[in-house]
Amino acid sequence: MTPSEVPVTLPLVPLPEHVEVLDLPPFTLTAETVVEVDRAGDEVGRRLASRLGALVGAGLALEVEVSDGPGAGVGSAGEGRPRIRVRVEDQGRAGETAPTCGAALRPVPGAYALRVVPGEVDLVARERTGLLHGLATLAQLVQHPLSRIAACQVVDAPRYPWRGLSLDLARRFHGPATVRTVIDVMASLKLGVLHLHLTDDQGWRLEIPSRPELTARSGGTAVDGGPAGFLTVEEYAGLVAYAAERGVVVVPEIDLPGHVNAALHACPELNPSGQAAPPYTGIEVGFSRLDATLPATDAFLVDVLDDVAAMTPGPWVHLGGDEALASDPEEYRVLVTRAAEILRAAGKEVVGWQELARLSLGPGSAVQYWTSEQDPGPVVAAALAGADVVMSPASRTYLDLKYDATTALGLEWAGHVEVRDSYDWDPDLVLPLPAERVRGVEAALWSETLRTPGDLFHMLLPRLAAVAEVAWTPQHRRDWAGFAARVPTVAAAWDRAGLAWYRSPQITWHPAAPPVTS
Ligand code: TNX
């Protein structure tokens, strides 16, 4: 490819803060390429080598060289060969030596700088998450099937620290393999928070060592009979580790004091009658509640929340708190305050749906805004009292809502959500909040209507890519036409991964690859 053929718009989603196409020939990945990493970036360098190797045709085994000092590139085997340098540098040095395009690497977590010229790729960040973001960028830049990477410079950092996806495993269960694929997609879009909705009226999906009856009885129930199931302690730990390797933090949600029928079904002592509640397989909300007057309720909160906190290396646990329509305000306050106290004693920060704002849990906590059908006043007041807000307005980010009236799957309670609806909005303008209190953006995928991985990815993609760009890219850099031009190349990677995504008519997609014939 000659420089004049280099695409003017690089196919990057989310769009980086600064990106410049260089008027130079591309870098070509070959078996000769050496990946040079410093100690700090060693693990990411190896991941990068195997990821880039796997991306290219039949798969290349790229050689990895690890150097000791800061600033790799002193290796010998790589002399004269095309090289990819991966470096972690402290603030001062990164500022001096990072590739630039007239911009400095901002001092925020996850920032990175990348320079691609003939014969050399240079990736620099201050910490591992930044390197992983640079790797995600590089992976999107590899042109198929030629293994070329256009010459360019990127200096990039996220708009918000919290860029998430909430996945409902409770209404219907999606197993570890599907969740891992979701994590891969998240990492490719630079999303860093996987919120797992693990408990609800219809099922309990996380094994709790002190309360094995929860999953023994309520792991097997689900909307309309299935699919059901649950994560064992080992499976959950495996997912948390898989996510962490890819820069994604898992935030488990134990929904209370409403949405608790699965617990009432598994634990008879949580019911005033002492009788287990029947299982629930419908999709109504707001009918179940924990009873604050029962001594068993406090023991349940302590056991479950202590176990969940112990199983969760990340800093946050989500308490739900939504749609507790059967709890009176005082009982709600007592139970949520107690739950938050248990979690904080276990060293965790509390996150909850917007209803939790009524309690104003203060600095460190976060409330997740989801519906305009409730008075936003308490959310604004909680933010003014120091809580952060995560933006999940249903009309933009609820990816279980139908794209349009013809979508077979999905709900419609907050209208239809086409890709452009997920893209064209500004999280800072949803509510009158101080901008620094907006911690970020989270998409949500509820599974009342989603049975299979195919169902899940049909609703998730391409809308998750739109939300990811909202969460990452500065508002002034974003525009729908640019996104619509870039996302088809990214979608080709979803095809290569065999994901059943939705070809929204709002975007001109590349022709579908013809079926492979032998
Ligand atoms: C609202 S979001 C809910 C969920 C449903 C979802 C369906 C929230 C806090 N509550 O219980 O699954 O809508 O779109």
| Residue 31 confidence (pLDDT) | 87
Q: Give CA separation, 377 vs 354, 358, 381, in Å.
A: 10, 9, 6
| Residue 92 confidence (pLDDT) | 53
For 74, residues 6+ apart whose C-beta sits below 8 A from its C-beta are: 67
**Could you tell me where the beta strands, DSSP code E, fall in 376-497?**
388-391, 438-445
List, for residues 121-142, the tens digit of each pLDDT value.
999 999 999 999 999 999 999 9
Q: Kindly name the residue from 127, 253, 323, 330 that is annotated as catalytic.
A: 323
Residue of minimum CA distance from atom 6 in ligand 1: 446
Nearest atom (ligand 1) to Cα of 320: 9
Residue of minimum CA distance from atom 12 in ligand 1: 446
Distance CA 17, CA 505 (A): 28
Question: How far, in Å, is the centroid of ligand 1 from the Cα of 354?
Answer: 12
| pLDDT reading at 287 higher than 60 | yes
Q: Which two tokens stand for residue 255?
A: 């929904």
List, for residues 308-348, the tens digit of each pLDDT value.
999 999 999 999 999 999 999 999 999 999 999 999 999 99
Domain 162-490, CATH 1.10.10.10 — does that match?
A: no
Mean pLDDT score, 238-247: 97
Q: How far is CA 226 from the centre of its chain?
A: 25
Distance CA 334, CA 346 (A): 19
Q: Which two tokens stand for residue 320?
A: 């739900």
Nearest atom (ligand 1) to Cα of 283: 12
* CATH code for the structural domain at 18-156: 3.30.379.10
Distance CA 45, CA 37 (A): 6
pLDDT class of 42 with cuts at 50, 70, 90: confident
Distance CA 457, CA 460 (A): 5
Mean pLDDT score, 114-118: 96
* Burial 178-193, CB ≥16 within 10 A → b, else e: bbebbbbbbbbbbbbb
Q: Which two tokens stand for residue 99?
A: 């590739």
Element (H, E) at 121: strand 120-125
The packing angle between helices 463-472 and 453-460, to 10°, is: 50
Nearest atom (ligand 1) to Cα of 353: 9
Residue of minimum CA distance from atom 10 in ligand 1: 322
Q: Residues lining ligand 1, CB < 6 A?
A: 285, 322-323, 353, 370, 398, 400, 411, 446, 448
Mean pLDDT score, 432-447: 97
| Residue 518 confidence (pLDDT) | 47
Q: Which residues pair with 85 in a beta bridge?
A: 36, 122
- Determine contact, residues 1/21, Cβ cutoff 8 Å: no
Catalytic site includes residue 323: yes
Mean pLDDT score, 264-272: 98
pLDDT class of 102 with cuts at 50, 70, 90: low
| Residue 151 confidence (pLDDT) | 96
Question: How far, in Å, is the centroid of ligand 1 from the Cα of 220?
Answer: 21
pLDDT class of 9 with cuts at 50, 70, 90: confident
| pTM (2 d.p.) | 0.95
Write down the domain spans for the chain. Answer: 18-156, 162-490
Mean pLDDT score, 78-85: 83
Mean pLDDT score, 72-80: 53
| Residue 417 confidence (pLDDT) | 98
pLDDT class of 104 with cuts at 50, 70, 90: confident
| Residue 73 confidence (pLDDT) | 45
| Residue 285 confidence (pLDDT) | 96
Distance CA 339, CA 365 (A): 13
Q: Give CA separation, 39 vs 35, 50, 70, in Å.
A: 13, 17, 8
| Residue 471 confidence (pLDDT) | 98
Percent of the chain residues past pLDDT 70, beyond the cut: 92
Nearest atom (ligand 1) to Cα of 446: 12
pLDDT class of 51 with cuts at 50, 70, 90: confident
Question: How far, in Å, is the centroid of ligand 1 from the Cα of 252?
Answer: 16
Question: How far, in Å, is the centroid of ligand 1 from the Cα of 487?
Answer: 28
Question: How far, in Å, is the centroid of ligand 1 from the Cα of 184?
Answer: 25
